[in-house]
Homo-oligomer: A and B are copies of this chain.
Amino acid sequence: MDNVVHGRPYEVTKDGPRFRPCAPHGVLSRLGDKWTILVMSHLAIASGHRLRFSELKHGIDGITQRMLTLTLRNLERDGLVSRHYFPEVPPRVEYELTGMGASMLPALEGFTSWIRDNWPRMEECRNLFDLAKAEHG
- Name A residues whose Cβ lies closer than 8 Å to a Cβ of B: 3-8, 10, 15-21, 23-25, 27-34, 37-38, 40-42, 44-45, 55, 58-62, 76-80, 100, 103-104, 107-116, 118-119, 121-122, 124-126, 129-130
* A6 and B40 form a contact (CB under 8 A): yes
Rounded to whole Å, the gap between the CB of A43 and the closest CB of chain B is 10
Which residues of chain B are near A29, meaning CB under 8 Å? 32-34
Which residues of chain B are near A58, meaning CB under 8 Å? 15-16, 18
Which residues of chain B are near A28, meaning CB under 8 Å? 28, 31-32, 37, 111, 115
Rounded to whole Å, the gap between the CB of A105 and the closest CB of chain B is 8
Inter-chain CA distance A111–B61, complex, in Å, is: 27
Which residues of chain B are near A61, meaning CB under 8 Å? 18-21
Inter-chain CA distance A116–B107, complex, in Å, is: 12
A110 interface neighbour in B5, B8, B107, B124, Cβ under 8 Å: B107
Rounded to whole Å, the gap between the CB of A10 and the closest CB of chain B is 8
Rounded to whole Å, the gap between the CB of A23 and the closest CB of chain B is 5
14 A-B residue pairs with Cβ-Cβ distance under 8 Å, sorted by A, are A5-B44, A6-B37, A6-B40, A6-B41, A7-B113, A7-B116, A16-B55, A18-B58, A19-B61, A25-B32, A28-B31, A77-B129, A78-B126, A100-B118
